[in-house]
């Protein structure tokens, strides 16, 4: 039943978002590695510190994540989890969806399967492409997710940037807005590379959470390849044997 929920949710998000994501700005491709436990732990820490204030990950439990990331209960609950949640709890949040709607104009969606809905490149670009925009209620806008109602929650690390646009009208009088570049207004506490690495790990964690079985599948891969190699070798020996007397 739970699986069914997850699939339905996934499909809902996918169909709803596919069109919205159609002409999103994707300036960079992200290279993640789901087998890097360090990267996943790093991403989990960022998620629990900076995202779970507003977003839940309802289809995950703390103990499952700890197990998959090789963390003890103590490392997980005292090192990563900021609330008084229990080890076997689902990763829900205390924020009331109606309050959230009032504060932000939109309810922050559950992020368990967001990587399936949006794709890794979209998530990565969304999180690195915030810029200051005084016309928006939060003071922030985003190149990849225009007019998003989520503020730039990682701004202390990335710093503040303005975006320069080339705005022009075509022959038919339609206005076009072309992104040119960013201009640093205030530097963040991280270098550009450090910030991008942090976001890459966070996206890696969101990828893992959208399908934890990926880890198991990946761990089978070497054995499957070994089996295929052995089998090929046996088939070759058999062929040599069959054709030995045929000239």
**Closest approach of ligand HEC to the CB of residue 134, in Å:** 18
Residue 10 near ligand HEC by CB under 6 A: no
If the CB atoms of residues 34 and 148 are measured against ligand HEC, the closer one turns out to be: 148
Asked if 104 touches ligand HEC (CB under 6 A), the answer is: yes
Euclidean distance between CA atoms 183 and 242, whole angstroms: 71
Residues in the chain: 247
Q: Is residue 108 a contact residue for ligand HEC (CB under 6 A)?
A: yes
Would you count residue 26 as binding ligand HEC (CB under 6 A)? Answer: no
Residue 188 in the binding site for ligand HEC (CB under 6 A): no
Question: Per CB under 6 A, does 153 bind ligand HEC?
Answer: yes
Q: Are 140 and 132 in contact (CB under 8 A)?
A: yes
Q: Which is nearer to ligand HEC, 44 or 51 (CB)?
A: 51
Closest alpha carbon to 42 in 202, 209, 212, 203: 202
Distance CA 35, CA 37 (A): 6
Looking at residues 200 to 229 of the shown chain, list those that interact with ligand HEC (rule: CB under 6 A): 202
Is residue 109 near ligand HEC by the rule CB under 6 A? yes
Cβ proximity to ligand HEC, 19 vs 166, nearer residue: 19
**CA-wise closest residue to 123 among 215, 199, 41:** 199
Helix, strand or coil for residue 186? strand
148 is a contact residue toward ligand HEC (CB under 6 A): yes
Q: What are phi and psi of 171, to 5 degrees?
A: -55, -35
Q: Which of 6, 17, 190, 215 binds ligand HEC (CB under 6 A)?
A: 17
For residue 181, what are its two tokens?
């570049």
**Which one of 70-78, 103-111, 177-185, 190-198 is the stretch in contact with ligand HEC (CB under 6 A)?**
103-111
Query: Are 138 and 158 within 8 A, CB to CB?
Result: no
Q: How many CB atoms lie within 10 A of CB 14?
A: 14
The kind and range of the H/E element at 187 are strand 175-187
The region of 26-34, 68-76, 118-126, 174-182 touching ligand HEC under the rule CB under 6 A is 118-126
The correct pick among 9, 44, 54, 113 for binding ligand HEC (CB under 6 A) is 54
Among 48, 113, 150, 198, binds ligand HEC (CB under 6 A): 150
Closest CA to 123 of 211, 34, 193, 204: 204
Cα–Cα distance measured from residue 167 to residue 242, given in angstroms and rounded to the nearest whole number = 73
Residues near ligand HEC, by CB under 6 A: 17, 50-51, 53-55, 104, 106, 108-109, 111, 114, 118, 123, 126, 148-151, 153-154, 202
């Amino acid at each position: 039943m739970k699986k069914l929920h997850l699939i339905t949710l996934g499909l809902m998000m996918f169909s709803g978002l596919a069109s919205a994501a159609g002409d999103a700005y994707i300036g960079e491709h992200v290279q993640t590695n789901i087998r890097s436990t360090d990267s996943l732990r790093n991403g989990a820490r960022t998620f629990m510190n900076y995202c779970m204030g507003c977003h839940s990950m309802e289809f995950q439990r703390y103990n499952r994540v700890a197990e998959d990331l090789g963390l003890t209960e103590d490392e997980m609950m005292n090192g990563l989890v900021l609330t008084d949640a229990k080890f076997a709890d689902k990763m829900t949040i205390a924020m009331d969806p109606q309050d959230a709607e009032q504060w932000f104009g939109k309810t922050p969606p559950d992020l368990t399967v967001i990587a399936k809905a949006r794709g890794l490149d979209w998530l990565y670009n969304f999180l690195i492409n915030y810029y200051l925009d005084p016309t928006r209620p939060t003071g922030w806008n985003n190149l990849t997710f225009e007019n998003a109602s989520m503020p730039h929650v990682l701004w202390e690390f990335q710093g503040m940037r303005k975006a320069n646009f080339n705005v022009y009208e075509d022959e038919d009088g339609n206005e076009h807005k072309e992104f040119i570049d960013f201009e640093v207004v205030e530097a963040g506490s991280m270098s550009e590379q450090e910030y991008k690495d942090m976001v890459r790990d966070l996206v890696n964690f969101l990828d893992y959470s959208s399908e934890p079985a990926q880890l198991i599948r990946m761990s089978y891969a070497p054995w499957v390849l070994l089996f295929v190699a052995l089998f090929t070798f046996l088939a070759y020996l058999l062929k040599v044997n069959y054709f030995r007397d045929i000239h």
